Copies of this chain bind each other. A is one copy, B any other.
Amino acid sequence: MITEELMKSISVSSPAKMVMLVIDGLGGLPVNGKTEMEQSQIPNLDKLASKSICGLTDPISPGVTPGSGPSHLALFGYDPMKYQIGRGVLEASGIGVELAEGDLAARGNFATIDENGIIIDRRAGRISTEKNRALCDLLGDGIEEMEGVKITIRPGKEHRFVILFKGEGLEDRLTDADPQKNGKPSVPATAISDGATFSERIVNRFIKEATQLLKSQESANTVLLRGFSQIPKIPSMTELFKIRPAAIAIYPMYKGIARLVGMDVLDAGETIGDEIETLGGHFHEYDFFYVHIKNPDMFGEDGNFPGKVRAIEEVDEFIPDILDLEPDVFVVTGDHSTPSVLKTHSWHPNPVLLFSKFIRTDAVDRFDERSCVLGGLGRIPATSIMPLMLANALKLNKYGA
């Protein structure tokens, strides 16, 4: 991929409008000979494919299964191996905690420790989510601040929570304060760079004070923290591409990733219909729209093949509404594959179609994994999608004389 410096030097603004429709977990694997896409009735996407240029993208590199962070960064035109979004940051984004540069985020568990300092249950007997909420309030009220660092604790499901340390001088190069297995002694977080010694002190002091506050609890009498991370120092899409980008996503994690790259996050409502309505309502305000569709991935993760088929078919119904807005460049793709047979993200490349005035159409007239193999885009890195969209929107100047 080209360098960020080069991108900044050739990108220019233009009035052209771009829409990137990301169908989460779109690609699949055959069951009885057909993938979820191949099984689906998607006349609108098929028709659009016949007027588009199609292909396949690799989010990271062939064979590498991406998480949602790297797969989205690649689609947004960032090197997914240069910028890493840590687990703490992703979880915090996932439950809607807004992060600023320098904030230190981590995932937490309530856990059970015995009198000898041995962690005997890393999940504190899977306490209820209600109990979790009460304990997070207890800790939040008891430990608001330490040495100028503000603490925010947000409950997740059962024994899980997210913690945010907000203050000057924090760094995320810390080992997990989590022995990872029951029956082992608790471990402190340890700085793995000189800059992280202050973080180390704050984190371990927090664990100590929290354990003190939880002393009288039956099972949840300590906390484990892991996945310490800060948001990467990442140039905004506006800085790199000179665009005004907006995100339309229902789930907090995708809003969080979009916010990290400088998108305005619009109120997307609750359904695909709401999302497309949001797109139409704001179409004059921005020149790049990221629209995220979650359901196909969820059904894929559940191993629900017919459910994923129906979820893909549901997206198809909204394609005419998007085309009615007359975007200059329209891309439909996935962030990664989630084959129902694997019940998880996979390494398989993503089908992609790109629709614009300035394409060489190809012979593909069916939007699925195997039809896209013969598409005119060939098999390209996912990081090429953003430059191709910009080029088709005439937003990239010539490189070199």
A360 touches B29 (CB 8 A): yes
Please report the C-alpha to C-alpha distance between residue A1 and residue B60 in the assembled complex, in whole angstroms. Answer: 9
Inter-chain contacts of A387 with B (CB < 8 A): 61-64, 347
A401 touches B87 (CB 8 A): yes
Inter-chain contacts of A344 with B (CB < 8 A): 398
A373 touches B376 (CB 8 A): yes
B373 touches A67 (CB 8 A): no
Q: Mark A378-401, 1 if CB is under 8 A from B, else 0.
A: 111000101111110000111111
The answer, among B1, B30, B397, for a CB contact under 8 Å with A361, is B30
The answer, among B6, B56, B67, B373, for a CB contact under 8 Å with A399, is B67
* A100 on interface, CB distance cutoff 8 Å: no
* A327 on interface, CB distance cutoff 8 Å: no
* A155 on interface, CB distance cutoff 8 Å: no
Number of copies: 2
B62 touches A396 (CB 8 A): no
Inter-chain contacts of A91 with B (CB < 8 A): 401
Identify whether the interface residues of A are mostly helix, strand, loop, or mixed. loop
Q: How far is the CB of A26 from chain B (nearest CB, A)?
A: 13
B65 touches A396 (CB 8 A): yes
Please report the C-alpha to C-alpha distance between residue A69 and residue B301 in the assembled complex, in whole angstroms. Answer: 42
The answer, among B10, B70, B341, B375, for a CB contact under 8 Å with A400, is B70
Chain B residue, CB-CB nearest to A345: B398
Q: Which residues of chain A from 34 to 51 have any CB-CB distance to chain B below 8 Å in the complex?
A: 35
Which residues of A are in contact with B by a Cβ distance under 8 Å? 1-3, 6, 10, 29-30, 35, 56, 60-71, 80-81, 84-87, 90-91, 227, 339, 341-342, 344-348, 358-363, 369-370, 373-380, 384, 386-391, 396-401
Inter-chain contacts of A339 with B (CB < 8 A): 358
Chain B residue, CB-CB nearest to A358: B29
B362 touches A64 (CB 8 A): no
A64 touches B401 (CB 8 A): no
The answer, among B61, B346, B388, B396, for a CB contact under 8 Å with A384, is B61
Please report the C-alpha to C-alpha distance between residue A91 and residue B361 in the assembled complex, in whole angstroms. Answer: 36
Please report the C-alpha to C-alpha distance between residue A107 and residue B308 in the assembled complex, in whole angstroms. Answer: 60
Inter-chain contacts of A60 with B (CB < 8 A): 2, 399
Please report the C-alpha to C-alpha distance between residue A85 and residue B120 in the assembled complex, in whole angstroms. Answer: 53
With A374-B374, A378-B379, A379-B378 already in contact, the answer to whether A64 and B360 are too (CB < 8 A) is no
Inter-chain contacts of A347 with B (CB < 8 A): 387-388, 391, 396
B373 touches A362 (CB 8 A): yes
Please report the C-alpha to C-alpha distance between residue A339 and residue B394 in the assembled complex, in whole angstroms. Answer: 14
B360 touches A396 (CB 8 A): no
The answer, among B6, B62, B84, B90, for a CB contact under 8 Å with A380, is B62
Inter-chain contacts of A376 with B (CB < 8 A): 370, 373
With A56-B378, A399-B70 already in contact, the answer to whether A391 and B64 are too (CB < 8 A) is yes
A64 touches B10 (CB 8 A): yes
Inter-chain contacts of A3 with B (CB < 8 A): 81
Q: How far is the CB of A187 from chain B (nearest CB, A)?
A: 21
Interface centre among A362, A396, A399 (most CB of B within 10 A): A399
